[in-house]
Amino acid sequence: MSGPEQPIWEHHVPQDFAERLRLDRYCAENLPRIPSKAFARKSIKRDEIRLNGETVESSRFVRPGDVVQLLPSTRTPPAIYDAPIGVVYQDAHMAVVDKPAGLWTSGAKQRTLENALPVNLEQSSEPDVLRRPRVTHRLDAQTQGLVICAKTASAHMHIGQAFERRGVQKRYQALLVGRLEGEGTVELPVEGRDAKTHYRVLSHGRSLFCRWLTWVELSPHTGRTHQLRRHMAHLGHPILGDGIYGGPRPLRGKGLFLCASAVELAHPVTGAPLKVSRPAPEKFEITFAREARRWARYEELHMDRLMGLRALLDAHAPADEIEASHLDKMRTLARAERGDPCARDHFEPGHFTASSFVLSPDGASVLLILHGKLHRWLQPGGHIDPEDVDVLAAARREVAEEVGITELEQVGAGLFDVDVHTIPARKQEPEHEHHDLRFLFRAPSLEAVAGSDAQDAKWVALSEVAHIESDQSVMRAVAKIK
């Protein structure tokens, strides 16, 4: 073939290939430039993918020794996306560019990295120059970092072949949730196909957001969809900002902390070793430093808050044997030798929470919320945040967040009630106990609006609480109020 019929990539089906796959599925699973079966079917229909030099249907089955050819696109290219892209390396045949996070590598959209290449790369004068530069592999939209591009048909073919025989080495940097040690290899299939990732820990940092952060270098030996994200989550240390594969909620506006930081390959024309790298994103250093500062402030606050908590518990007088039993458990937890018993990830046996019974101005009604997860009418309350000065401040904050009341008059001094109850296992949390510290307040008015974690909020006469679907511990506390 010559001219426009010359393939830009040829893929040879291995002689030991034993699966029975249609051409469209085979391309989607084995050609890095083909993102899906639907994309493959459209490309085959446009005669951009051929089998052994022939135009065929998507339903044709591939056999060992077949040659799958990718031809230049016959489509009218999308409009150029005029946006600046960092160019780390380029010559007449290829380039390595720095894709920003949030940008698709390629696809039907106009706003893609590939559509931005013409305004960022120098035009090649080689005889087999492509109509437009092409990316040769993909990065997730959320992932930033290095992407290898081809300017000529021969470079595109040779780079593609290098990916197939795993002749391209890529390294990533990532921030992981939690403390991972040393180095190792994860071999966990992804969607039924073998997948292998090597990790090496670079450093650790304390974090108020998730206790520990681990800075790692990741080297994928295969290139499966979301491989690095899946493999790190499998280790119990998901990549920070990954809202799909577990871990705490992403940091608002910070995105995924994963960057393709280095690539190594033989130059597609000269064969000379080519190594290209970029430093870790600035947000890695900023987040590491910010979390260290927040942790230092938390440690200063932690002991003061813990001493105040112990004093509250020592001063509290239980009303009955049930509350006395709860109080004994809580005094034991408050003197735990390991960890922070106020932290939401302290699971053995559990951690402290803070809640409030809020009375109406006349003292005849109590404010209850319909809890969004438990679907029961309960008092406002929740976890104690690291920034809370003390547990009383945590109780006030929860009322403000859940019903919008910020001006509260505390009734009595110290604790009003204590309660220990079991929380069932869910998602990544084991079964554990909530040791609930309860305060009594009076509201200045009947104004209340359901906020976070509350489906509804309403004032309930103390005499009517028994008639709504609530919790036994709420009934016990209401009896104390009466």
Q: What is the pLDDT of residues 385-441, one digit of tens each?
A: 988 889 999 999 999 999 999 999 999 989 999 999 998 988 778 999 999 999 999
Per-residue pLDDT reduced to its tens digit, 46-82: 898 999 999 999 999 999 999 998 887 777 778 999 9
Per-residue pLDDT reduced to its tens digit, 205-219: 999 888 899 999 999
Query: Which pLDDT does position 36 carry in this prediction?
Result: 66
Residues 143 and 258: beta-carbon distance below 8 Å: yes
| Residues in CB range of 185: below 8 A, 6 or more apart | 196, 197, 198, 199
| Residues in CB range of 285: below 8 A, 6 or more apart | none
* Neighbour tally for 242: CB within 10 Å: 25
Region 316-342: what's the mean pLDDT?
91
Residues 90 and 121: beta-carbon distance below 8 Å: yes
| Residues in CB range of 411: below 8 A, 6 or more apart | 359, 440, 441, 442
Is 390 part of the annotated catalytic residue set? no
Per-residue pLDDT reduced to its tens digit, 156-166: 888 888 887 88
State CA 141 to chain mean position distance: 13
Instruction: Give CA–CA dist 158/156, Å, rounded.
Output: 6
Instruction: Give CA–CA dist 112/147, Å, rounded.
Output: 13
Direct distance between the N- and C-terminal alpha carbons of the chain, in angstroms, rounded to an integer: 92
Distance of CA 431 to CAs 329, 423, 457, 474, Å?
17, 6, 28, 21
Residues 108 and 78: beta-carbon distance below 8 Å: yes
Q: Which of 478, 293, 310 is nearest to 387 (CA)?
A: 293
Inter-axis angle of helices 23-30 and 37-45, nearest 10:
120
Query: Which pLDDT does position 421 carry in this prediction?
Result: 92
Burial 428-459 (b: 16+ CB within 10 A, else e): eeeebbbbbbbbbbebeeeebebbebbeebeb
Is residue 18 pLDDT above 90, yes or no?
Answer: no
Residues 24, 98, 140, 390: which is the catalytic one?
Answer: 140
Residues 262 and 178: beta-carbon distance below 8 Å: no
Q: What angle is formed at CA 385 by the lines to CA 381 and CA 387, rounded to 5 degrees?
A: 135
* Neighbour tally for 43: CB within 10 Å: 22
| Residues in CB range of 332: below 8 A, 6 or more apart | none
Q: DSSP letters along 19-64, please?
A: ---BHHHHHHHH-TT---HHHHHHHHHTT-EEETTB---TTPBP-T
Residue 402 phi, psi (nearest 5): -95, -25
How does residue 473 score in pLDDT terms, banded at 50, 70 and 90?
confident
Query: Which pLDDT does position 231 carry in this prediction?
Result: 97
* Neighbour tally for 170: CB within 10 Å: 22
Q: Across all residues in the chain, what is the average pLDDT?
A: 90
Is residue 3 pLDDT above 80, yes or no?
Answer: no
Q: Which residue is listed with tokens 């104390």?
A: 480
Of 95 and 423, the structure prediction assigns the larger pLDDT to 95
Is residue 2 pLDDT above 50, yes or no?
Answer: no
Instruction: Give CA–CA dist 139/148, Å, rounded.
Output: 10
Instruction: Give CA–CA dist 403/384, Å, rounded.
Output: 17
Instruction: Give CA–CA dist 423/200, Å, rounded.
Output: 36
Percent of the chain with pLDDT over 70: 96
Question: Which residue ranges form the domains of the chain, and what is each CATH number?
Answer: 3-70 (3.10.290.10), 86-286 (3.30.2350.10), 316-481 (3.90.79.10)
Residues 278 and 146: beta-carbon distance below 8 Å: yes
Is residue 299 pLDDT above 90, yes or no?
Answer: no
Per-residue pLDDT reduced to its tens digit, 133-151: 999 898 999 999 999 999 9
